[in-house]
Structures are given as structure tokens and as C-alpha cells.
Amino acid sequence: MKFKLFTATFIFLVFSAMIYAQDMRTQFFVSEGIKQLELGNLEKADTLFNAALEIYPNVDAYFNKALTRLNLKDQCGFCECMYMASFYEDMEADSLYKKYCISETKMLESKYDSLVPFLVTKQYEIIQKDKCGTREKIDFYDQNDSLISSLQILNGQLFYSQLSYPARYPGGQPMLDKFIEKNMIYPKQAETEKIQGKVYASFVVDENGRVQDARIVNGVNPLLDEEALRVISLIPKWYPATVKGKPVRDLITLNVSFSL
């Protein structure tokens, strides 16, 4: 469920009931957080949403925490949490993030860029910066106005959506699938309750090929999500992505299937 505060001044409240396959404690903390937010107990609401996120990252907790941060006059906290809600493909969160958190949008006409020298068809770029200076997105277009690549800059670190050579697991996808299958332990409770599905997660392969910063993009159930993250944490080194022969960080999205 999402507790909504919006319009230009974020004064009035709107409720939207949305049910997710979440741990009951997560739903409890989110519901209690919404009650405290409605009562104006902002610090308590923030604590409750944090508790929900520690159990199970989800769009409701991020969205409502964003509204709490806004009421606490924490613009950067609002933008960070609203960005995370939009990361879960929530269209309203994405709209609010773009409307209230993007400070600058500009277009540069340039056929060459030192950041992406391999984009030979690049004609111009559109740059978006957030108000807190932590995120910057650059979209690169060709002369036909077609998007050919994107670059995310987060806290000074670069993530490319198109690379000269993407990160590769030794032996490719078949060997990665075998590794996951060999190391996966189906949670007993999930097996008993016949819980199954695909868990989508993202992680970074750094310049040295190490797997870092794994997180759930689209979960199924806390039990399966936790096991997926555990297995991902065990994945050995990859061949790192490269641009012009230089190793760079690459963001990978992976689905881990659980079936009975």
C-alpha cells in the first residue's frame, strides 16, 4: 500500500491499496509507518519504513519513506528514496522523481566524447543531473535521434549501458547457470509452502571482475530473495567489462529461477 502526498506542495493525502507477496512483518511495518505519517509522527514513521526495508526491499516502503523525508525537509532523502521506488518500475515514483529531483537538463551537440570514444555514430547527448549532485544520467543519440547508449554516474562512479566488451563469466551463461544450480539451497519453508518463481537481481562487476553490491530488482518472496542474494555473493570472478582495453565497472541483471 502506498500513502500518497502530492501536488506542488504535497499537502493532501491519497491512499492506494497494492498487495505484494511480502513478509507479514514488512506489511505490518509499512502499515504502521503510514499511520504514523498520517499522524505527523515523522521520525517514528521513518524508523518503521526503515524496519520494513531491512526485512524486504519494496516499492511501498521506499515510496512512503520518500514522503516522510520530504516532510522532514530532507530533499535529498526524498529524492534518493523516490529514485529507489522508481527503480522498482513504479510509474508514479518515476514521474515524481523527474518532476521534483532533476535540477538540470541540457543538450550538447558533439560527435566525440572522451567518456565514450567508441560511440562513432554519436551526434549529441542529453544530460540530466539531480538536485543533490549524486546522480547524473547521459543519453547518447545518433543523427537520426535514436538512443544508442546511456551512462549513469553515481557518486562519481561510471556505469555504461553499452560497452566495448561487457563483463563475461568464464564459460559463459551455461557455466554460470551450472554454478548457481550447484550452490543453490532451496529454503525449506519455501519448499513446504510451495513457493516458486524467478528472482531478478542486479549486481556490479568491478574493474577487477569481482561481484559487488547485489540487490533485488524484482523479488518473489523474502525466503527466495535472500537465497538468490546468497548464491550471487558466492559467484567467482568474471572477466571485467572494457572500454578501449581499459577495465570498467558493469551493471549486470540476472534472474535466479526457483522451481519445484
Of 75, 100, 125, the domain-final residue = 100
**Percentage of the chain surpassing pLDDT 90?**
38
- Given this model, what pLDDT does residue 161 score? 58
Cell 541540457 appears where?
A: 106
Question: Do both 15 and 43 map to the same domain?
Answer: yes
The mean per-residue pLDDT over the stretch 168-183 comes to 89
Question: Do both 91 and 6 map to the same domain?
Answer: yes
- Given this model, what pLDDT does residue 143 score? 76
Beta bridge partners of 204: 212, 251
Average pLDDT, the chain: 80
> What is the span of the domain harbouring residue 17?
2-100
Question: pTM of the full predicted structure?
Answer: 0.51
Beta bridge partners of 220: none
Strand pairing of 147-154 and 135-141?
antiparallel
Is pLDDT of 238 > 50?
A: yes
CB-based contact 213:83 (threshold 8 Å): no
- Greater confidence, 172 or 48? 48
- Given this model, what pLDDT does residue 22 score? 47
CATH number of the domain that residue 178 is part of: 3.30.2420.10
- Greater confidence, 242 or 226? 226
Q: How far is CA 25 from CA 15, 197, 224, in A?
A: 20, 21, 16
Among 115, 113, 116, 110, residue whose Cα is nearest residue 143: 110
CATH number of the domain that residue 24 is part of: 1.25.40.10
Is pLDDT of 19 > 70?
A: no
Number of domains in the chain: 3
Cell 539531480 appears where?
A: 130
